[in-house]
């Protein structure tokens, strides 16, 4: 029963929404779309902060259907808003404990000190919210939401209001939550890098409708979806570190049958590492090049081609089961005579940690 099923159909103000989705009851599901596409509206509907006709079942518990509408305060959810929205009349401790105090002790699924520790809030605990930096405030807001012991965590672009430094400060905490908690997270974002780094599952929304729902890796590499055509289009691979070379400062990772080498020492052997290959960093040849500076040469097969930006073609490749995107010029595609089924060698110029 560990699933979240939702269907909302109606209008919120002047905005028409007709969204149906089904997300797994664990891991991070990114709700991705341009601004004005209805991401926040959908999140508010799930929280019960807004209302249209619909149906919502969270882990077998009905939150809304034709007959029932469970009010927000009776839904076991956590909500992190874009602005931290800390209570100015309470200290950091008062904010963190606001929800915690309202959870019956028997239903407290988390340890308070653990959460405070994970988010590095020990030293801030007696401060007043107005004496915190933007990143610190958002950490407190995340801790406050977690301490209400939710069964679903909703995050509405929690990093959008932060500058690059604060964002870099928060991301590791979010990744840590993702690793250490089984809690399902619905994460609204319009930043592809963030999604590529955090999400397992993807919901694409446009004009109040869900355009795609499924695994992240597939959603990012499907040529009929907008993500693959973004400038920063990339393939995300959930890999495992299989080796490190301290002298060459090189890390080798494997994802299924695909092995990749990337510069620098990342992660630790045996541990999972998510890596990202930008479509523009993949070039194609028909024969295995000899003597090249490119480390990763991967035999692949062309699956599909699609027109991209003017003069460019997006090629979807299969490396065994694993998809990979390559962005090449139309001229190259013609010269190599690429078509579905053509065997090629993918030259991966650079691999980044996601």
Partner 1 sequence: MALPAVDHTAIILTLKLATATTLLLMLIATPLAWWLTHTHARLRAAVTALVSLPLVLPPTVLGFYLLVLLGPRGLVGGWMQAAGLETLPFTFGGLVVGSVIFSLPFAVQPLANAFAAIGARPLEVAATLRASPWDRFVSVALPLARPGFVTAAVLAFAHTVGEFGVVLMLGGNIPAETRVLSVAIYDHVEALEYAEAHVLSAGLVAFSFVVLLMLGRSGGNWQRMPT
Based on the shown chain and the rule CB under 8 A, indicate whether residue 49 belongs to the binding site for partner 1.
yes
CA-based nearest residue to 185, from 311, 39, 324, 79: 79
Q: Is 347 left (phi over 0), alpha (psi -120 to 50) or beta?
A: beta
Q: Of residues 89, 130, 270, 287, which one binds partner 1 by CB under 8 A?
A: 89
Q: Of residues 55, 98, 295, 301, which one binds partner 1 by CB under 8 A?
A: 98
Based on the shown chain and the rule CB under 8 A, indicate whether residue 79 belongs to the binding site for partner 1.
yes
Q: Which residues lie closer than 8 Å to 332 by C-beta, 6 or more apart?
A: 284, 313
Nearest to partner 1 of 145, 314 (CB atom): 145
Task: Decide the pairing of beta strands 201-206 and 28-32.
Answer: parallel
CB atoms within 10 A of CB 40: 19
Based on the shown chain and the rule CB under 8 A, indicate whether residue 145 belongs to the binding site for partner 1.
yes
Q: What are phi and psi of 209, to 5 degrees?
A: -125, 145
Nearest to partner 1 of 84, 351 (CB atom): 84
CB of residue 115 vs partner 1: minimum separation in angstroms? 14
Q: Of residues 137, 144, 167, 327, which one binds partner 1 by CB under 8 A?
A: 144
CA atoms within 13 A on the CB side of 283: 12
Based on the shown chain and the rule CB under 8 A, indicate whether residue 130 belongs to the binding site for partner 1.
no
CA-based nearest residue to 86, from 140, 122, 147: 140
Based on the shown chain and the rule CB under 8 A, indicate whether residue 253 belongs to the binding site for partner 1.
no
Nearest to partner 1 of 67, 89 (CB atom): 89
Based on the shown chain and the rule CB under 8 A, indicate whether residue 78 belongs to the binding site for partner 1.
yes
Strand order of the sheet with strand 209-215?
77-80, 152-156, 185-189, 28-32, 201-206, 209-215
Q: Of residues 13, 88, 106, 343, which one binds partner 1 by CB under 8 A?
A: 88
Based on the shown chain and the rule CB under 8 A, indicate whether residue 70 belongs to the binding site for partner 1.
no
CB of residue 89 vs partner 1: minimum separation in angstroms? 4
Based on the shown chain and the rule CB under 8 A, indicate whether residue 106 belongs to the binding site for partner 1.
no
Restricted to residues 9-48, the positions that interact with partner 1 (CB under 8 A) are 47-48
**Residue 345 tokens, joined:** 């060698």
Give me the numbers of helices (H) and strands (E) for the chain, helices first please.
8, 20
CB atoms within 10 A of CB 168: 12
Based on the shown chain and the rule CB under 8 A, indicate whether residue 85 belongs to the binding site for partner 1.
yes
Contact window for partner 1 (CB under 8 A) among 55-63, 143-151, 266-274, 276-284:
143-151
Q: Of residues 72, 109, 133, 213, which one binds partner 1 by CB under 8 A?
A: 72
The rounded distance, in Å, linking the Cα atoms of 20 and 7 is 4
Instruction: Tell me which residues touch partner 1 (CB under 8 A).
Output: 47-49, 71-74, 77-79, 81, 83, 85, 87-89, 98-99, 102-103, 144-145, 148
């Amino acid at each position: 029963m560990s699933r979240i099923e939702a269907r909302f159909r109606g209008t919120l103000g002047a905005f028409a929404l007709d969204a149906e989705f089904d997300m797994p009851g664990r891991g991070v599901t990114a709700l991705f779309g341009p601004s004005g596409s209805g991401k926040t509206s959908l999140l508010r509907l799930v929280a019960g902060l807004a209302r249209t006709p619909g149906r919502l079942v969270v882990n077998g518990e009905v939150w809304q259907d034709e007959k029932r509408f469970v009010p927000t305060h009776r839904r076991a959810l956590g909500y992190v808003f874009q602005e931290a929205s800390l209570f100015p009349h309470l200290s950091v401790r008062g904010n963190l404990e606001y929800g915690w105090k309202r959870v019956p002790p028997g239903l407290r699924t988390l340890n308070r000190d653990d959460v405070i520790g994970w988010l590095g809030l020990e030293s801030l605990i007696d401060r007043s919210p107005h004496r915190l930096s933007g990143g610190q405030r958002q950490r407190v807001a995340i801790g406050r939401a977690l301490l209400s012991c939710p069964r679903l965590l909703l995050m509405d672009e929690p990093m959008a209001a932060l500058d690059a430094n604060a964002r870099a400060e928060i991301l590791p905490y979010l990744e840590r939550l993702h690793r250490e908690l089984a809690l399902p997270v619905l994460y609204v974002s319009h930043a592809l890098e963030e999604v590529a780094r955090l999400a397992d599952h993807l919901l694409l929304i446009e004009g109040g409708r869900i355009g795609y729902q499924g695994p992240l890796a597939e959603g990012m590499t499907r040529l009929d979806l907008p993500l693959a055509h973004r400038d920063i289009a990339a393939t995300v691979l959930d890999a495992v570190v299989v080796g490190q070379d301290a002298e060459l400062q090189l890390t080798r990772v494997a994802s299924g049958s695909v092995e990749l080498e990337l510069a620098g020492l990342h992660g630790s052997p045996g541990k999972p590492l998510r890596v990202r290959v930008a479509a523009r960093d993949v070039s194609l040849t028909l024969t295995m090049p000899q003597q090249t500076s490119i480390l990763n040469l991967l035999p692949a097969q062309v699956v599909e081609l699609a027109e991209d930006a003017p003069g460019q073609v997006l090629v979807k490749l299969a490396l065994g089961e694993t998809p990979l995107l390559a962005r090449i010029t139309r001229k190259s595609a013609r010269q190599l005579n690429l078509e579905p089924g053509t065997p090629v060698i993918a030259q991966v110029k650079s691999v980044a940690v996601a």
